[in-house]
């Protein structure tokens, strides 16, 4: 039989008070030689078995599971057309992770009722990487070769292609 201590166990002592409360023993005070003790201890005489959770948490399963739905038609409720190519998405996921998508899919915007949304300001590669980042939290590899456009690939900022500047 085991006894589980909640806190540090009592040392040697005499003249202490010990009370049984359910399955616990409550030990208070006493003395050890010339030293008077004013400490308090709880001894559990029938501790529950320790549970060890071996399954991943729901949060981890959700985070790793979202990656399988990047550009997947399964359960998709929106299709983006970028440079004539389709990228599939899930409005609830995109809305949770991006204020811009939340605004796009909100009432009052035409995209809220459309199943197909045409994207003009981003290349297919950049838009698909952005979607992959939202679903996985990981930044995909990006080729920054000499043919890459300046200003961050049109992802906003001063030199991007997503604004209303002269380009």
Convert the pLDDT of each residue in 1-31 to its tens digit. Answer: 466 666 667 888 999 999 999 988 899 999 9
Spell out the residues 6+ positions from residue 132 whose beta carbon is closer than 8 angstroms to its own: 70, 71, 138, 140
Structure tokens at 74: 């399964």
Please give the model's pTM, rounded to 2 decimal places: 0.55
Do residues 81 and 131 share a domain? Answer: yes
36: pLDDT strictly greater than 80 = yes
Mean pLDDT lowest among 21-30, 53-62, 81-90: 53-62
Domain total in the chain? 2
Query: Do 91 and 64 sit in the same domain of this protein?
Result: yes
| Confidence band of 166 (pLDDT split at 50, 70, 90) | very low
* Domain that residue 22 falls in: 4-44
- Sign of the dihedral through C-alpha 139, 142, 144, 148: negative
pLDDT-derived band at 54 (thresholds 50, 70, 90) equals confident
Residue 161 lies in a domain: no
Task: Report the share of the chain in percent with pLDDT over 70.
Answer: 80
In a domain, 121, yes or no: yes
Same domain, 33 and 70: no
- On whether both 68 and 23 belong to a single domain, the answer is no
């Amino acid at each position: 039989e085991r006894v589980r201590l909640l806190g540090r166990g009592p040392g040697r002592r005499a003249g202490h008070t010990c009370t049984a409360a359910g399955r616990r023993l409550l030990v208070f005070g006493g003395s050890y030689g010339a030293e008077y003790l004013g400490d308090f201890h709880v001894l559990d005489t029938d501790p529950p078995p320790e549970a060890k959770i071996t399954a991943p948490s729901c949060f981890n399963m959700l985070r790793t599971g979202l990656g399988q739905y990047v550009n997947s038609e399964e359960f998709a409720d929106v299709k983006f057309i970028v440079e004539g190519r389709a990228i599939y998405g899930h409005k609830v996921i995109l809305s949770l992770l991006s204020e811009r998508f939340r605004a796009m899919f909100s009432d009052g915007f035409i995209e809220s009722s459309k199943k197909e949304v045409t994207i003009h300001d981003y290349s297919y590669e950049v838009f698909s990487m952005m979607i992959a980042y939202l679903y996985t939290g990981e930044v995909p590899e990006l080729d920054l070769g000499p043919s890459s456009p300046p200003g961050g690939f049109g992802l906003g900022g001063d030199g991007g292609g997503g604004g209303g500047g002269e380009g």
